[in-house]
Amino acid sequence: MKKMIIVCTLMLLVGINAFSQQLTVVIAPTEIIGNCISIDDANAYEYLLGNELAVKSSIKVLDRSNAMFKTILEQEDFLLSDWSSPEKVSALGRALNVNAVVLPKAFAFRNTLIISARINTLDTEINTANNMMINNITEMLDKLPAFTAEIISYLPKPPPINPFIGRWRSTILSNDQTLTCILEFRSDGSIYVVRYDTNRVSYRGRRPVNELRRGNGNGTYTYTVNGNTVVFEGALTIANVSHEFRAVNARGTWRENNPRQFRAGRDSFQCEWYVDGEGDTYEVFHKL
């Protein structure tokens, strides 16, 4: 049994859904049983496989001499024989921060060369349903597209993107005063309220008087993806603000056609209040 050390780190960019993150896949060294295929032909196969993945699914194939990959192999004490161990492969995949590992195998039955593949999703190992059976290496060009499409069908779906992660800022003019709200959405579902200005405007005679407060606090949120729109629902607890706004129920909508902006619900982020019943809210937030 021979194994050739050809390792390509693949970045799968799924373009069908605008909210898909990059899905990273590693092609493990091909396991060659017997003398069914030469090293040169095997090199050609992996090169063609990489090209086909790139064409079919916008996959970027990194050079097999990638320094990061070699460094992690050394750090993990990963040996050539470890590719046969699902546990070792899963551990390496997690160290590489990939979503799946493709493990091809080449063997012969009589005069037919058979190429199969296993896919390790780091939690489950799957055997692809069909084998690529060829009588000579040139037939690979015709059969590789269907074989590659099957590999892609077994790969895990990329996680949905969360476009709210990061800091956002909104301002409003209140009785000649500029109020500012700065929110930091975090990947763990929490919100850090960097700044939350409020202004309670009262009247002394005919003259409106500002009661400015600069608040801060925290909160939580969840989000849902619907087509080209992402909506979050959240709740904030804020200190040092006008008493009406210490607890805030929030809602915001992000759309793909304006990726550096989200629009809040009309009464989500209240910031201004008049004693006679009028008020205003932060509505449009821009990415910092």
Q: Which of 107, 133, 154 is the last residue of a domain?
A: 154
Taking a C-beta distance cutoff of 8 angstroms, is the pair 245, 271 a contact? yes
SS3 of 106, please?
strand
Q: Residue 87 corresponds to which tokens in the numbers above?
A: 């546990």
- At 1 the pLDDT is 32
pLDDT of residue 117: 85
Cβ pair 42, 61 in contact under 8 A = no
Place of tokens 């990194």: 62
Indicate whether 121 belongs to any domain: yes
Do 145 and 198 sit in the same domain of this protein? Answer: no
Q: Which residues of the chain have pLDDT under 70?
A: 1-22, 57-65, 158-159
Gyration radius (Cα) of the chain, Å: 28
Per-residue pLDDT at 128 = 81
Domain extent, residue 136, equals 2-154
Q: What is the pLDDT of residue 46?
A: 77
160 in a structural domain:
no
20-67: pLDDT as tens digits = 556 777 788 888 898 888 888 877 787 787 778 777 766 666 556 678
Same domain, 139 and 174: no
Structure tokens at 191: 């919100």
183: Cα within 13 Å, side-chain hemisphere: 32
Which pair of structure tokens corresponds to residue 249? 């129920």
Burial grade of 23 (CB within 10 A; 0-12, 13-18, 19 or more): buried
The DSSP bridge pattern shows strands 279-282 and 269-274 to be antiparallel
Q: Which of 154, 175, 210 lies at the terminal end of a domain, its last residue? A: 154
Question: Nearest to residue 284, comparing CAs of 110, 188, 168, 186?
Answer: 168
CATH number, domain with residue 127: 3.40.50.10610
Instruction: Say if CB 209 and CB 200 are below 8 A apart.
Output: no
Shared-domain flag, residues 129 and 212: no
Return d(Cα 173, Cα 245) in angstroms, integer.
Answer: 17
3-state secondary structure (DSSP) of residue 74: helix
* CA neighbours closer than 13 Å in the CB half-sphere of residue 139: 10
* pLDDT at res. 274: 85
Q: One-letter amino acid identity for 207?
A: R
pLDDT at 2: 32
Among 154, 179, 201, the domain boundary falls at: 154
Q: Is residue 159 part of a domain?
A: no
Rounded to 10 degrees, the C-alpha dihedral 124/129/131/132 comes to: -100
Measured CA to CA, the distance from residue 85 to residue 92 in angstroms comes to 11
Distance CA 288, CA 280 (A): 23
pLDDT single digits (tens) 91-120: 888 887 778 888 888 999 888 899 988 888
Is residue 51 domain-shared with residue 150, that is, in the same domain? yes
Phi, psi of 24, rounded to the nearest 5 degrees: -100, 130
Crossing angle of helices 39-57 and 140-154, in 10° steps, is 60
Distance, in Å, from the CA atom of 116 to the CA atom of 49, rounded to the nearest integer, reads 13
Given this model, what pLDDT does residue 110 score? 84
Residue 266 lies in a domain: yes
